[in-house]
Chains A and B, each alone.
Chain A
Amino acid sequence: MKTKLIALSFLMSAAAMPAAADEPNVENGRNVYQATGCWQCHGYGGQGGSVGPRVGPSPLPLGVFTDYLREPTGTMPRYSERVLSDEDIADLHAFLASLPPADAGPARGSTPPMRPSRTR
């Protein structure tokens, strides 16, 4: 009986394992973001910059995000599965989604406005 209970317990644990693995790991995502140098164009906080667009805290849906990393259309390097696994991409996606929202930014009216075109 005891043996059966242990076996059942093991099976339950084993059954639970895939579910746990499916949970994205934000901390690993942060490490992936650092290790793969995403920050180089997208900023240390995913905020974007003069070269790359903002990627957090609302990244593209995971499927689209993964497809783009595999086959980018712009100047971004192409990340194969060997370089960046699907699991790492999921973690990376979770990290980007966890990034803080926007700050208040520049005071309203303090940035230079568009100059209108004169018409005849």
Chain B
Amino acid sequence: MGKNRTDGLARRDLLKTSTALGILSSAPLTAAAQTSSPPSPARATPAHASAPIERDEHDPDTTAPSHVFDRPGSDYMVDVIKALGIEYVAANCGSSFRSLQESITVYGENRAPEYLTCLHEEASAAMAHGYSKVAGKPMAILAHNTVGLQHASMAIFNAYCDRAPMLIFAGNTLDATQRRGGAEWYHSDSDPAAFIRGFIKWDDNPVSLAHFAESTARAYRIAMTAPMGPAVISIDKKLQEAPSSRSGEPALPRFPQSIQPSADPAALDTVARMLVEAASPVLLADRLTRTQAGLNNLVALAELLQAPVVCPGGSPLTFPQLHALNQSDDGRRVIAAADVIVGLEMIDLWSSLNRLVDGPVPQTRRIARADAKVASIGMADVFIRGGAQTFQRYQEVDLAIAADAETALPYLLEAVRRRLPRARQSSFNARGQRFAEAKRRRIEQYWSDARYGWDGSPISTPRLAYEVWKAIEHKDWSLTHAPRAFTDFWDKRLPYHDLGRSGGSGVGYGAPASVGAALANKALGRFSVTIQPDGDLMFSPGVLWTAAHHKIPLLSVMHNNRAYHQEVMHLQRMACEHNRGIDACTIGTTLDNPFIDYAKLAQSMGVYAEGPITDPAELPAALRRAVAIVERGEPALLDVVTQPR
């Protein structure tokens, strides 16, 4: 990207030239503009531009007083955003935030925050979602209040479900007498965040710059306090565009550092006693770890007890994937045998302890023992809003501790250490050995089963996962997104080795969230890779252009199965239940006739791409070429035609 000219001369040149072109009216210029130097020859004034402007007194655009001034309110907004350490704002440009956009790119010199050009607001929000999982802090997005927020709403919902912080600045014109005709009315709302309030943490509608500063700092703190999530600040057009002056502006907010809520020590001691005294304890962990320290603490707790850990799919990595005590791939059996179950930031504890068997009359089956003691530590009970059913079915527990489990974990670990009976250590170790042996067998079985169809076409999903693994295993890599279970046998050890899935299961998350995560990984020198489903990509394919434009290195390997296969099975189930032929289940669920050429799609937007690749023997070389492109700092896409799932 070219560097913006933000020095006084550039601004003065613009003013001078603009005046000469008749763009600006005869309103008084600032001192800086009045002392500007003559225009350069390259900016010679067209002859016709010297003619006086004919004013139409019935046209409000030409009769309204015009202003030229040095400091709009939006410059102060940029200072506030900078004070909060926001590095990026993602946006599809819109007139309701035109002043803030100009202030970010010119006054703010387009650095921290840098403006990211997005082709759809859903991509803006999903990029912010993915970025937060790596950076551990929010990205901001800009959107028109009504039409922009509606576009963004799906990705905001995903972020809310996934507990991802995000700052959303929504352009609005609250004063009805100040709205231009037409679109500006449609883009205004008297209650700007009303239609997304069910899945954001907080919103406000500031009416002064002081109010903006306080509310933005408050929004940041709320977004970053567990359970994290999106917060919305409406940015009024008048507030952005009206003149301001440094001397009259409020002080900038201090950076709002948040310490997450921990648990009552006595309650943690009770949980420690339950775990130590149990014959078969199990730790369930969902949205538990945000940091390496959190993951390390869970490993230490599990190893201290030699207790199995089960992580329901979807969260970023909470426990090393191939660790002997990671029993997620046999979770139901492990839970069924447990006498003490401790849930850590479980979003859906019920579905781990029970299951609902799908059918015309769904049936409930208990998985956990009826006499199993259950405790939970997490923020789920303070996470419930409005109508969005993000809280899942109610699960009775013996002890519910409302606290941020990652923050409470070191204290739980210490309480377990204090209570650990040395006499039982050998039985604990024997327990661990049993789980290790079971895990080892399952890993062997997986790779043994993977041999079937290994050389077949379309390419099997284990073969795809294996070849991608071999291409990245010696790098400092980060898996930004992948379909469920694809990479369960990768050696994921660090939190960024798997950033989890969307949270709300809203299709269209994978591609833009991966670009956002890759942006954050780029600053850390990490190699970003995603297994990209075809259906997901088509929700916001324009994000490929954003990746190319901003030179965001990301390896996208398509899981192109040419259908929405999960939905195929739902239709099969319905057809079987309705006791009739199931040969029409591909109608509306398959992406064929014609096939989509994802390589050409990516190439059209400046992304290096190859494919469609149908022969697994061609994969390693194609991956080597694509990896080289990504290591050069650019995105690359391989369209790989695969088995369905």
Among the stretches B43-51, B448-456, B517-525, the one at the interface with A is: B448-456
Inter-chain contact A41/B644, CB cutoff 8 Å: yes
Do residues B447 and A36 form an inter-chain contact, with CB atoms below 8 A?
Answer: no
Query: Which of B30-38, B65-73, B223-231, B581-589 lies on the face that meets chain A?
Result: B581-589
Task: Tell me, rounded to whole Å, the shortest Cβ–Cβ distance linking B307 to chain A.
Answer: 10
Residues of A contacting B456 in the complex (Cβ-Cβ under 8 angstroms):
44-45, 47, 103
For B486, the chain A residues whose CB sits under 8 A away are 50
Task: Name which of A5-13, A20-28, A59-67, A111-119 contacts chain B.
Answer: A111-119
Please encode chain A, from 59 to 77, with 1 for each CB lying within 8 Å of some chain B CB and 0 for all others. 0000000000000000101
- Is B455 a contact of A44 with CB atoms below 8 Å? no
Q: Do B443 and A113 have beta carbons less than 8 Å apart?
A: yes
Q: What is the distance, in angstroms, from A26's C-beta to the closest C-beta of chain B?
A: 18
Known contacts A116-B436, A119-B432; is-contact A75 B358 (Cβ 8 Å): yes
- CB atoms of B483 and A83 under 8 A apart: no
Count of inter-chain pairs, beta carbons less than 8 A? 159
Docked pose: A47 CA to B459 CA in angstroms: 11
Q: Are B450 and A106 closer than 8 Å at their CB atoms?
A: yes
Interface residues of B in 481-498 (CB under 8 A from A): 483-486, 489-491, 493
Neighbouring B residues of A78 by C-beta, 8 Å:
359, 576-577
- Residue in B455, B473, B643 whose CB lies within 8 Å of A49: B643
> Which listed residue, A105, A112, A118, A119, touches B454 by the CB 8 Å rule?
A105
Within the assembled complex, what's the spacing in Å between the Cα atoms of A33 and B566? 17
Tell me if A3 counts as interface (CB < 8 A to partner B): no
Q: How far is the CB of A73 from chain B (nearest CB, A)?
A: 9
Decide if the interface of chain B is mainly helix, strand, loop or mixed: loop
Q: Shortest beta-carbon distance, A31 to chain B, in Å? A: 10
B324 near A106 (CB under 8 angstroms)?
A: no
Against B, the Cβ 8 Å flags (1 = close, 0 = not) of A30-62 are 000001110111011111111110101000000
Contact B645 A51 (CB under 8 A): yes
In the bound assembly, the distance between CA atoms of A48 and B447 in angstroms comes to: 12
Given contacts A49-B461, A115-B491, contact A104 B303 (CB under 8 A): no
**A43 CB contact (under 8 Å) in B302, B325, B568, B644:** B644
Roughly how many angstroms separate A102 CA and B460 CA in the complex, as a whole number? 13
Query: Which residues from 304 to 337 on chain B have a C-beta closer than 8 Å to any C-beta of chain A?
Result: 304, 306, 320, 322-325
Q: A41-B644, A49-B460, A102-B451 are in contact. List 16 more A-B contacts (CB 8 A).
A: A39-B643, A44-B453, A44-B644, A46-B452, A50-B486, A51-B485, A77-B576, A82-B580, A83-B582, A104-B451, A106-B450, A112-B491, A113-B443, A115-B320, A117-B302, A117-B325
Q: Which 5 A-B pairs have the closest CB atoms?
A: A47-B453, A105-B451, A112-B491, A102-B451, A47-B452
- Using a CB–CB cutoff of 8 Å, the interface residues on chain B facing chain A are 302-304, 306, 320, 322-325, 358-359, 425, 428-429, 432, 435-436, 439-440, 443, 447-456, 458, 460-462, 466, 469-470, 473, 483-486, 489-491, 493, 565, 568-569, 572-573, 575-577, 579-583, 585-586, 643-645
